[in-house]
Structure 1
Amino acid sequence: MSHEKDRIYATEHGQVEDFRFDDQVARVFPDMIKRSVPGYSHIIGMIGILAEQYAQPDSHLYDLGSSLGAATLAMRHRVHAPGATLIAVDNSQAMLDRSRDFLESEDLPTPVKTVCADITELQLERASFVVLNFTLQFIPVEERQATLQRIYDGMLPGGALVLSEKLRFADPVQEQLLAQHHHDFKRANGYSDLEISQKRQAIERVLLPETADDHLNRMKAVGFSAATQWFQSFNFASFLAIK
Protein backbone atom coordinates (compact mmCIF):
# COMPACT_ATOMS: atom_id res chain seq x y z
CA MET A 1 0.00 0.00 0.00
CA SER A 2 1.65 3.23 -1.16
CA HIS A 3 1.54 6.49 0.76
CA GLU A 4 2.22 10.05 -0.29
CA LYS A 5 4.80 12.43 1.13
CA ASP A 6 3.40 14.96 3.60
CA ARG A 7 3.38 18.38 1.94
CA ILE A 8 0.14 19.67 3.47
CA TYR A 9 1.79 22.74 5.01
CA ALA A 10 4.60 23.19 2.47
CA THR A 11 2.97 26.23 0.84
CA GLU A 12 1.67 29.38 2.48
CA HIS A 13 -1.89 29.04 3.83
CA GLY A 14 -3.73 32.35 3.99
CA GLN A 15 -5.59 31.15 7.06
CA VAL A 16 -4.48 27.99 8.81
CA GLU A 17 -7.50 25.88 9.68
CA ASP A 18 -7.69 23.56 12.68
CA PHE A 19 -6.10 20.17 12.06
CA ARG A 20 -8.50 17.38 11.08
CA PHE A 21 -8.00 13.69 10.37
CA ASP A 22 -9.57 13.96 6.93
CA ASP A 23 -8.78 12.19 3.67
CA GLN A 24 -5.93 14.61 2.92
CA VAL A 25 -4.22 13.66 6.20
CA ALA A 26 -5.06 9.97 5.77
CA ARG A 27 -3.21 9.90 2.42
CA VAL A 28 0.05 11.15 3.99
CA PHE A 29 -0.33 9.98 7.57
CA PRO A 30 2.46 7.34 7.67
CA ASP A 31 4.99 9.88 6.36
CA MET A 32 3.62 12.60 8.66
CA ILE A 33 3.80 10.55 11.84
CA LYS A 34 7.26 9.13 11.07
CA ARG A 35 8.71 12.60 10.48
CA SER A 36 6.83 14.33 13.32
CA VAL A 37 6.82 12.02 16.37
CA PRO A 38 10.20 10.93 17.74
CA GLY A 39 10.17 7.35 18.96
CA TYR A 40 6.91 6.45 17.20
CA SER A 41 8.19 3.27 15.55
CA HIS A 42 9.67 2.08 18.85
CA ILE A 43 6.36 2.61 20.64
CA ILE A 44 4.51 0.68 17.93
CA GLY A 45 6.91 -2.25 18.24
CA MET A 46 6.60 -2.32 22.01
CA ILE A 47 2.79 -2.22 21.80
CA GLY A 48 2.95 -5.54 19.97
CA ILE A 49 5.21 -7.06 22.62
CA LEU A 50 3.07 -5.78 25.49
CA ALA A 51 -0.14 -6.95 23.83
CA GLU A 52 1.31 -10.45 23.59
CA GLN A 53 2.00 -10.42 27.33
CA TYR A 54 -1.40 -9.13 28.45
CA ALA A 55 -3.82 -10.65 25.91
CA GLN A 56 -6.25 -13.02 27.63
CA PRO A 57 -8.22 -15.85 25.99
CA ASP A 58 -11.67 -14.87 24.67
CA SER A 59 -11.01 -11.18 25.27
CA HIS A 60 -10.97 -7.99 23.22
CA LEU A 61 -7.90 -5.86 22.48
CA TYR A 62 -8.79 -2.28 21.56
CA ASP A 63 -6.85 0.27 19.53
CA LEU A 64 -8.68 3.50 20.33
CA GLY A 65 -7.93 6.22 17.80
CA SER A 66 -6.48 3.60 15.50
CA SER A 67 -5.83 5.90 12.48
CA LEU A 68 -4.33 3.65 9.78
CA GLY A 69 -3.95 0.71 12.16
CA ALA A 70 -0.20 0.60 12.88
CA ALA A 71 -0.72 -0.39 16.52
CA THR A 72 -3.49 -2.81 15.57
CA LEU A 73 -1.22 -4.55 13.07
CA ALA A 74 1.65 -4.69 15.59
CA MET A 75 -0.72 -6.45 18.01
CA ARG A 76 -2.04 -8.75 15.31
CA HIS A 77 1.49 -9.94 14.54
CA ARG A 78 2.10 -11.03 18.12
CA VAL A 79 -1.23 -11.91 19.78
CA HIS A 80 -2.11 -15.61 19.67
CA ALA A 81 -4.44 -15.92 22.67
CA PRO A 82 -7.31 -18.26 21.72
CA GLY A 83 -10.56 -16.45 21.03
CA ALA A 84 -8.96 -12.97 21.18
CA THR A 85 -10.31 -10.28 18.85
CA LEU A 86 -8.73 -6.95 17.90
CA ILE A 87 -11.03 -3.93 17.64
CA ALA A 88 -9.73 -0.83 15.85
CA VAL A 89 -11.80 2.27 16.65
CA ASP A 90 -11.56 5.70 15.05
CA ASN A 91 -13.98 8.57 14.51
CA SER A 92 -12.49 9.35 11.09
CA GLN A 93 -14.13 7.30 8.35
CA ALA A 94 -11.35 8.41 5.97
CA MET A 95 -8.76 6.82 8.27
CA LEU A 96 -10.74 3.61 8.70
CA ASP A 97 -11.37 3.25 4.96
CA ARG A 98 -7.64 3.37 4.28
CA SER A 99 -6.76 1.23 7.29
CA ARG A 100 -8.73 -1.77 6.06
CA ASP A 101 -6.35 -2.42 3.14
CA PHE A 102 -3.40 -1.99 5.50
CA LEU A 103 -4.82 -4.36 8.12
CA GLU A 104 -5.78 -6.97 5.55
CA SER A 105 -2.42 -6.84 3.74
CA GLU A 106 -1.19 -9.88 5.67
CA ASP A 107 -2.90 -13.18 6.36
CA LEU A 108 -2.84 -13.39 10.16
CA PRO A 109 -5.10 -15.53 12.35
CA THR A 110 -6.29 -13.04 14.98
CA PRO A 111 -9.47 -11.37 13.66
CA VAL A 112 -9.81 -7.58 13.44
CA LYS A 113 -12.96 -5.49 13.52
CA THR A 114 -12.96 -1.80 12.52
CA VAL A 115 -15.47 0.51 14.18
CA CYS A 116 -16.24 4.16 13.39
CA ALA A 117 -17.15 5.65 16.76
CA ASP A 118 -16.46 8.40 19.26
CA ILE A 119 -14.32 6.79 21.96
CA THR A 120 -15.75 9.15 24.60
CA GLU A 121 -19.04 7.26 24.19
CA LEU A 122 -17.72 3.76 23.45
CA GLN A 123 -18.59 0.91 25.80
CA LEU A 124 -15.70 -1.54 26.05
CA GLU A 125 -16.34 -5.20 26.83
CA ARG A 126 -13.96 -7.86 28.16
CA ALA A 127 -10.88 -5.80 27.32
CA SER A 128 -7.55 -7.36 28.25
CA PHE A 129 -5.42 -4.75 26.44
CA VAL A 130 -6.23 -1.19 25.38
CA VAL A 131 -4.13 1.25 23.36
CA LEU A 132 -4.58 5.03 23.35
CA ASN A 133 -1.69 5.96 21.10
CA PHE A 134 -1.61 9.78 20.84
CA THR A 135 -5.40 9.87 21.07
CA LEU A 136 -6.40 11.22 24.49
CA GLN A 137 -4.62 14.50 23.71
CA PHE A 138 -7.33 15.29 21.11
CA ILE A 139 -10.19 14.84 23.60
CA PRO A 140 -11.29 17.93 25.58
CA VAL A 141 -9.46 17.96 28.93
CA GLU A 142 -12.71 18.01 30.90
CA GLU A 143 -13.82 14.74 29.23
CA ARG A 144 -10.60 12.79 29.72
CA GLN A 145 -11.23 11.34 33.17
CA ALA A 146 -14.71 10.10 32.26
CA THR A 147 -13.31 8.55 29.07
CA LEU A 148 -10.54 6.81 30.98
CA GLN A 149 -13.03 5.64 33.62
CA ARG A 150 -15.22 4.09 30.92
CA ILE A 151 -12.17 2.31 29.51
CA TYR A 152 -11.13 1.03 32.94
CA ASP A 153 -14.66 -0.20 33.70
CA GLY A 154 -14.66 -2.27 30.49
CA MET A 155 -11.35 -3.99 31.25
CA LEU A 156 -10.75 -7.41 32.72
CA PRO A 157 -8.74 -7.79 35.95
CA GLY A 158 -5.06 -7.96 35.03
CA GLY A 159 -5.68 -6.03 31.81
CA ALA A 160 -3.27 -3.35 30.63
CA LEU A 161 -3.54 0.11 29.08
CA VAL A 162 -0.85 1.76 26.94
CA LEU A 163 -1.29 5.54 26.81
CA SER A 164 1.04 7.56 24.58
CA GLU A 165 0.88 11.36 24.60
CA LYS A 166 2.67 14.55 23.72
CA LEU A 167 3.69 16.17 27.02
CA ARG A 168 3.88 19.67 28.35
CA PHE A 169 6.19 20.56 31.23
CA ALA A 170 5.55 22.71 34.29
CA ASP A 171 9.13 24.02 34.12
CA PRO A 172 9.18 26.64 31.32
CA VAL A 173 12.88 26.04 30.65
CA GLN A 174 12.29 22.32 30.13
CA GLU A 175 9.21 23.06 28.03
CA GLN A 176 11.13 25.41 25.73
CA LEU A 177 14.18 23.12 25.47
CA LEU A 178 12.25 19.99 24.48
CA ALA A 179 9.95 21.90 22.11
CA GLN A 180 13.05 23.32 20.42
CA HIS A 181 14.58 19.87 20.02
CA HIS A 182 11.31 18.47 18.70
CA HIS A 183 11.42 21.16 15.99
CA ASP A 184 15.07 20.21 15.33
CA PHE A 185 13.88 16.61 14.85
CA LYS A 186 11.29 17.75 12.30
CA ARG A 187 13.83 19.89 10.43
CA ALA A 188 16.20 16.92 10.29
CA ASN A 189 13.37 14.95 8.68
CA GLY A 190 12.94 17.51 5.93
CA TYR A 191 10.22 19.83 7.23
CA SER A 192 10.75 23.53 6.54
CA ASP A 193 10.25 26.28 9.11
CA LEU A 194 7.06 27.26 7.25
CA GLU A 195 5.71 23.70 7.55
CA ILE A 196 6.59 23.52 11.24
CA SER A 197 5.00 26.89 11.95
CA GLN A 198 1.77 26.24 10.05
CA LYS A 199 1.36 22.72 11.47
CA ARG A 200 1.80 24.15 14.97
CA GLN A 201 -0.92 26.74 14.29
CA ALA A 202 -3.24 24.06 12.91
CA ILE A 203 -2.85 21.69 15.81
CA GLU A 204 -2.46 23.90 18.88
CA ARG A 205 -6.22 24.40 19.35
CA VAL A 206 -7.09 20.71 18.97
CA LEU A 207 -4.12 18.94 20.62
CA LEU A 208 -3.97 19.94 24.29
CA PRO A 209 -0.99 18.30 26.04
CA GLU A 210 -0.74 17.68 29.78
CA THR A 211 2.11 16.84 32.15
CA ALA A 212 3.24 13.30 32.93
CA ASP A 213 1.92 13.74 36.48
CA ASP A 214 -1.51 14.72 35.11
CA HIS A 215 -1.69 11.41 33.25
CA LEU A 216 -0.30 9.26 36.07
CA ASN A 217 -2.61 10.83 38.65
CA ARG A 218 -5.66 10.38 36.40
CA MET A 219 -4.87 6.71 35.75
CA LYS A 220 -4.61 6.06 39.47
CA ALA A 221 -7.77 8.09 40.16
CA VAL A 222 -9.91 5.89 37.89
CA GLY A 223 -8.68 2.74 39.61
CA PHE A 224 -5.54 1.38 37.95
CA SER A 225 -3.44 -0.42 40.57
CA ALA A 226 -0.16 0.48 38.89
CA ALA A 227 0.83 3.17 36.37
CA THR A 228 4.29 4.05 35.12
CA GLN A 229 5.97 5.99 32.35
CA TRP A 230 8.03 3.53 30.31
CA PHE A 231 9.21 5.71 27.40
CA GLN A 232 10.10 9.29 26.53
CA SER A 233 11.67 10.96 23.50
CA PHE A 234 11.81 14.74 23.82
CA ASN A 235 8.23 15.83 24.58
CA PHE A 236 6.58 12.53 23.63
CA ALA A 237 5.99 9.76 26.17
CA SER A 238 4.20 6.50 26.74
CA PHE A 239 2.70 5.04 29.92
CA LEU A 240 1.63 1.57 31.02
CA ALA A 241 -1.20 1.01 33.53
CA ILE A 242 -2.46 -2.27 34.97
CA LYS A 243 -5.95 -3.02 36.29
Structure 2
Amino acid sequence: MDVGNKIRVDDGCSFTFSKGTASVFDSHVQNSVPLYSEGHQYITYLSDYFIKSNSTCYDLGCSTGTLLEILAERHKNKDNVHFLGIDPEIEMINQAMKKNNYANIEFYVNSAEEVKLEKCDFVISYYTLQFIPISKRQEVCNKIYSSLNIGGAFILFEKELVTEPYISKIVESAYMKFKLNNNFTVNEVMGKRFSLEGFLIPNTTDDNISLLASAGFTSIQCIMQYGEFKGYIAIKKVNNEK
Protein backbone atom coordinates (compact mmCIF):
# COMPACT_ATOMS: atom_id res chain seq x y z
CA MET A 1 0.00 0.00 0.00
CA ASP A 2 1.11 3.57 -0.69
CA VAL A 3 1.85 5.80 2.30
CA GLY A 4 2.97 8.91 0.42
CA ASN A 5 6.07 10.26 -1.37
CA LYS A 6 6.38 7.03 -3.38
CA ILE A 7 6.91 5.00 -0.18
CA ARG A 8 5.24 1.61 -0.30
CA VAL A 9 4.58 -0.81 2.54
CA ASP A 10 3.51 -4.38 1.89
CA ASP A 11 0.04 -5.27 3.17
CA GLY A 12 0.20 -6.51 6.75
CA CYS A 13 3.73 -5.11 7.24
CA SER A 14 4.93 -2.23 9.39
CA PHE A 15 6.34 1.04 8.13
CA THR A 16 10.12 0.98 7.78
CA PHE A 17 12.83 3.61 7.65
CA SER A 18 14.84 1.43 5.25
CA LYS A 19 13.99 0.16 1.73
CA GLY A 20 14.50 3.54 0.08
CA THR A 21 12.67 5.68 2.64
CA ALA A 22 15.82 7.69 3.45
CA SER A 23 15.95 9.29 0.00
CA VAL A 24 12.52 10.90 0.43
CA PHE A 25 12.40 11.06 4.24
CA ASP A 26 12.90 14.81 4.63
CA SER A 27 9.99 15.81 2.41
CA HIS A 28 7.78 13.00 3.73
CA VAL A 29 8.25 13.82 7.41
CA GLN A 30 7.82 17.57 6.94
CA ASN A 31 4.43 16.92 5.38
CA SER A 32 3.52 14.30 7.99
CA VAL A 33 4.51 15.89 11.31
CA PRO A 34 3.12 19.32 12.23
CA LEU A 35 5.75 21.98 12.97
CA TYR A 36 8.56 19.55 12.11
CA SER A 37 10.93 22.18 10.69
CA GLU A 38 9.79 24.79 13.22
CA GLY A 39 10.68 22.35 15.99
CA HIS A 40 14.18 22.02 14.55
CA GLN A 41 14.61 25.78 14.50
CA TYR A 42 13.27 26.16 18.03
CA ILE A 43 15.72 23.55 19.30
CA THR A 44 18.62 25.54 17.84
CA TYR A 45 17.46 28.59 19.79
CA LEU A 46 17.21 26.55 22.99
CA SER A 47 20.66 25.09 22.38
CA ASP A 48 22.28 28.51 22.86
CA TYR A 49 21.88 27.99 26.61
CA PHE A 50 23.63 24.62 26.64
CA ILE A 51 26.11 24.22 23.77
CA LYS A 52 29.38 26.00 24.40
CA SER A 53 33.02 25.50 23.48
CA ASN A 54 34.08 21.87 24.12
CA SER A 55 30.46 20.68 24.30
CA THR A 56 29.22 17.36 22.95
CA CYS A 57 25.70 17.06 21.52
CA TYR A 58 23.81 13.90 20.57
CA ASP A 59 20.85 13.45 18.24
CA LEU A 60 19.40 10.00 18.96
CA GLY A 61 17.48 8.87 15.90
CA CYS A 62 19.10 11.52 13.73
CA SER A 63 17.62 10.20 10.44
CA THR A 64 19.27 12.19 7.60
CA GLY A 65 21.10 14.57 9.94
CA THR A 66 19.16 17.72 9.11
CA LEU A 67 18.87 18.95 12.70
CA LEU A 68 22.57 18.43 13.41
CA GLU A 69 23.47 20.44 10.31
CA ILE A 70 21.37 23.35 11.56
CA LEU A 71 22.96 23.09 15.01
CA ALA A 72 26.48 22.91 13.59
CA GLU A 73 25.84 26.05 11.56
CA ARG A 74 24.41 27.81 14.61
CA HIS A 75 27.48 27.06 16.73
CA LYS A 76 30.18 27.19 14.05
CA ASN A 77 32.07 29.99 15.82
CA LYS A 78 32.53 28.00 19.04
CA ASP A 79 35.64 25.90 19.61
CA ASN A 80 35.76 22.12 19.73
CA VAL A 81 32.02 21.41 19.65
CA HIS A 82 31.18 17.82 18.69
CA PHE A 83 27.88 16.70 17.19
CA LEU A 84 27.09 12.98 17.12
CA GLY A 85 24.20 11.54 15.13
CA ILE A 86 22.95 8.07 16.02
CA ASP A 87 20.49 6.08 13.92
CA PRO A 88 19.86 2.32 13.57
CA GLU A 89 19.19 2.52 9.81
CA ILE A 90 22.29 2.45 7.63
CA GLU A 91 20.39 4.06 4.75
CA MET A 92 19.61 7.07 6.95
CA ILE A 93 23.23 7.35 8.06
CA ASN A 94 24.48 7.08 4.49
CA GLN A 95 22.11 9.85 3.45
CA ALA A 96 23.23 11.97 6.41
CA MET A 97 26.91 11.50 5.56
CA LYS A 98 26.25 12.35 1.93
CA LYS A 99 24.59 15.65 2.92
CA ASN A 100 27.03 16.59 5.68
CA ASN A 101 29.35 19.55 5.11
CA TYR A 102 30.61 19.92 8.68
CA ALA A 103 33.81 18.32 9.98
CA ASN A 104 32.57 18.32 13.57
CA ILE A 105 29.51 16.13 12.85
CA GLU A 106 29.94 12.38 13.06
CA PHE A 107 27.30 9.77 12.26
CA TYR A 108 27.08 6.23 13.61
CA VAL A 109 24.81 3.28 12.89
CA ASN A 110 23.49 2.36 16.32
CA SER A 111 20.30 2.48 18.37
CA ALA A 112 19.35 4.68 21.30
CA GLU A 113 19.05 1.51 23.35
CA GLU A 114 22.55 0.22 22.60
CA VAL A 115 24.73 3.30 22.10
CA LYS A 116 27.17 4.28 24.84
CA LEU A 117 26.98 8.00 25.49
CA GLU A 118 29.94 10.18 26.39
CA LYS A 119 29.57 13.05 28.82
CA CYS A 120 27.61 15.74 27.03
CA ASP A 121 25.64 18.96 27.40
CA PHE A 122 22.75 18.47 24.98
CA VAL A 123 20.80 15.37 23.92
CA ILE A 124 17.91 15.31 21.46
CA SER A 125 15.31 12.62 20.84
CA TYR A 126 13.15 14.06 18.07
CA TYR A 127 10.24 11.65 17.56
CA THR A 128 12.49 8.67 18.33
CA LEU A 129 11.48 7.29 21.73
CA GLN A 130 8.02 6.38 20.39
CA PHE A 131 9.62 3.72 18.16
CA ILE A 132 11.61 2.12 21.00
CA PRO A 133 10.01 -0.81 22.86
CA ILE A 134 8.13 0.48 25.90
CA SER A 135 10.11 -1.82 28.18
CA LYS A 136 13.37 -0.08 27.17
CA ARG A 137 12.33 3.57 27.28
CA GLN A 138 13.11 4.14 30.94
CA GLU A 139 16.57 2.64 30.48
CA VAL A 140 17.23 5.03 27.59
CA CYS A 141 16.10 8.05 29.63
CA ASN A 142 18.22 6.93 32.58
CA LYS A 143 21.26 6.67 30.32
CA ILE A 144 20.67 10.13 28.92
CA TYR A 145 20.38 11.64 32.39
CA SER A 146 23.58 9.93 33.53
CA SER A 147 25.50 11.13 30.47
CA LEU A 148 24.51 14.78 30.82
CA ASN A 149 26.79 17.20 32.61
CA ILE A 150 25.20 19.26 35.37
CA GLY A 151 23.20 21.99 33.66
CA GLY A 152 22.81 19.94 30.48
CA ALA A 153 19.47 19.45 28.73
CA PHE A 154 17.48 16.65 27.15
CA ILE A 155 15.04 17.64 24.40
CA LEU A 156 12.25 15.11 23.87
CA PHE A 157 9.63 15.37 21.12
CA GLU A 158 6.94 12.70 20.85
CA LYS A 159 3.55 11.96 19.37
CA GLU A 160 1.42 11.24 22.43
CA LEU A 161 -1.73 9.32 23.20
CA VAL A 162 -4.67 11.56 24.09
CA THR A 163 -6.47 9.82 26.94
CA GLU A 164 -9.87 11.55 26.83
CA PRO A 165 -11.79 9.62 24.15
CA TYR A 166 -13.87 12.45 22.70
CA ILE A 167 -10.96 14.89 22.54
CA SER A 168 -8.79 12.14 21.07
CA LYS A 169 -11.31 11.71 18.25
CA ILE A 170 -11.32 15.45 17.53
CA VAL A 171 -7.52 15.74 17.61
CA GLU A 172 -7.05 12.69 15.38
CA SER A 173 -9.54 14.07 12.86
CA ALA A 174 -7.69 17.40 12.79
CA TYR A 175 -4.43 15.55 12.15
CA MET A 176 -5.95 13.65 9.23
CA LYS A 177 -7.07 16.98 7.74
CA PHE A 178 -3.55 18.34 8.21
CA LYS A 179 -2.13 15.50 6.12
CA LEU A 180 -4.78 15.79 3.44
CA ASN A 181 -4.02 19.50 3.22
CA ASN A 182 -0.38 18.54 2.57
CA ASN A 183 -1.42 16.63 -0.56
CA PHE A 184 -1.56 13.10 0.82
CA THR A 185 -4.49 11.10 -0.53
CA VAL A 186 -7.04 9.44 1.74
CA ASN A 187 -5.59 6.04 0.82
CA GLU A 188 -2.06 7.20 1.66
CA VAL A 189 -3.18 8.63 5.00
CA MET A 190 -4.95 5.42 5.95
CA GLY A 191 -2.11 3.28 4.61
CA LYS A 192 0.41 5.13 6.79
CA ARG A 193 -1.88 4.85 9.79
CA PHE A 194 -2.23 1.09 9.37
CA SER A 195 1.52 0.63 8.77
CA LEU A 196 2.37 2.33 12.08
CA GLU A 197 0.15 0.04 14.16
CA GLY A 198 2.37 -1.83 16.60
CA PHE A 199 5.42 0.10 15.33
CA LEU A 200 4.83 3.59 16.70
CA ILE A 201 3.50 3.10 20.24
CA PRO A 202 2.80 6.48 21.85
CA ASN A 203 3.02 7.26 25.53
CA THR A 204 0.60 9.56 27.31
CA THR A 205 1.74 12.92 28.64
CA ASP A 206 1.87 11.45 32.14
CA ASP A 207 3.95 8.53 30.87
CA ASN A 208 6.57 10.78 29.32
CA ILE A 209 6.80 13.10 32.31
CA SER A 210 7.15 10.03 34.54
CA LEU A 211 9.99 8.69 32.38
CA LEU A 212 11.87 11.96 32.72
CA ALA A 213 11.22 12.34 36.44
CA SER A 214 12.16 8.73 37.17
CA ALA A 215 15.42 9.23 35.30
CA GLY A 216 16.28 12.03 37.73
CA PHE A 217 15.17 15.20 35.99
CA THR A 218 13.48 17.70 38.31
CA SER A 219 13.18 20.60 35.86
CA ILE A 220 10.74 19.48 33.14
CA GLN A 221 8.62 21.67 30.90
CA CYS A 222 6.49 21.32 27.78
CA ILE A 223 7.92 23.75 25.23
CA MET A 224 5.89 23.09 22.06
CA GLN A 225 2.61 21.41 21.17
CA TYR A 226 0.40 20.83 18.15
CA GLY A 227 -2.45 18.48 19.01
CA GLU A 228 -0.94 15.17 20.06
CA PHE A 229 2.59 16.24 19.03
CA LYS A 230 4.50 17.60 22.00
CA GLY A 231 8.03 18.70 22.90
CA TYR A 232 9.71 18.81 26.31
CA ILE A 233 12.88 20.17 27.82
CA ALA A 234 14.39 18.44 30.86
CA ILE A 235 17.42 19.96 32.58
CA LYS A 236 19.86 18.15 34.86
CA LYS A 237 20.28 20.23 37.99
CA VAL A 238 22.43 20.01 41.14
CA ASN A 239 20.82 18.30 44.14
CA ASN A 240 17.27 19.00 42.94
CA GLU A 241 18.02 22.72 42.70
CA LYS A 242 14.88 24.69 41.92
Regarding TM over 0.5, the answer is yes
Structure-2 separation of matches of 1:37 and 1:15: 23
Matched, 1:161 2:154: yes
Superposition pairs of residues 103-182 of structure 1, within 5 angstroms = 103-104=100-101, 108=102, 111-182=104-175
Give unmatched runs, 5+ long, in structure 1. Answer: none
134-143 or 45-54: which moved more? 45-54
Per the alignment, residue 56 of structure 2 pairs with: 60
Among 206, 231, 234, the alignment partner of 2:227 is 234
Q: Bigger shift: 38-47 or 19-28?
A: 19-28
CA distance in 1, matches of 2:171, 2:157: 17
Post-superposition Cα deviations, 1:114-171, rounded to whole Å, max 9, x if no partner, equal 1111210112112100000000000011110011101111111000011000011110
Change in 2 beyond 3 A, CA 1:122/1:191: same
1:54 counterpart SS class: coil
Is 1:37 matched with 2:33? yes
Percent of aligned pairs with the same amino acid: 28
Contact 2:223 2:232 in 1 (8 A): yes
Match for residue 7 of structure 1?
Answer: 6
User: Partners of 2:12 and 2:46 in 1: how far apart?
Assistant: 38
Q: Which moved more, 1:52-61 or 1:25-34?
A: 52-61
Cα distance in 2 for partners of 1:207, 1:219 equals 19
Secondary structure of the structure 1 residue equivalent to 2:86: strand
Q: 1:156 to 1:215 in 2, by over 3 A?
A: same
2:46 aligns with 50
CA 1:185–1:81: 2 relative to 1, 3 Å: same
Aligned partner letter, 1:7: K
- Match status 1:75 vs 2:71: yes
Q: Which residue of 1 aligns with 2:15?
A: 19
The CA distance in 2 between the partners of 1:14 and 1:21, in whole Å, is 14
**Are residue 102 (structure 1) and residue 95 (structure 2) matched?**
no
Shift of 1:59: 2.4
Q: TM-score, normalised by structure 2?
A: 0.91
Comparing 56-65 with 14-23, which one deviates more in the overlay? 14-23
Q: CA deviation at 1:16?
A: 3.8
Name the CA distance, whole Å, in 2 between partners of 1:176 and 1:237.
17
Report the CA distance between 1:14 and its aligned residue. Answer: 6.4
- Match for 2:53: what amino acid? P
Secondary structure class of the residue paired with 2:48: helix
Cα shift at 1:56: 3.4
Give TM-score scaled by structure 1 length. Answer: 0.91
Asked if the contact 2:60–2:111 (Cα under 8 Å) also holds between the matched residues in 1, the reply is no
How many residue pairs get aligned? The number is: 232
Distance 2:33 2:150 in 1: 32
Q: C-alpha root-mean-square deviation of aligned residues, in Å? A: 1.5
Q: Which moved more, 1:218-227 or 1:75-84?
A: 75-84
Code of the aligned partner of 2:98: D
Asked if the contact 1:49–1:75 (Cα under 8 Å) also holds between the matched residues in 2, the reply is no
Q: Which blocks of at least 5 consecutive residues in structure 2 are unaligned?
A: 237-242
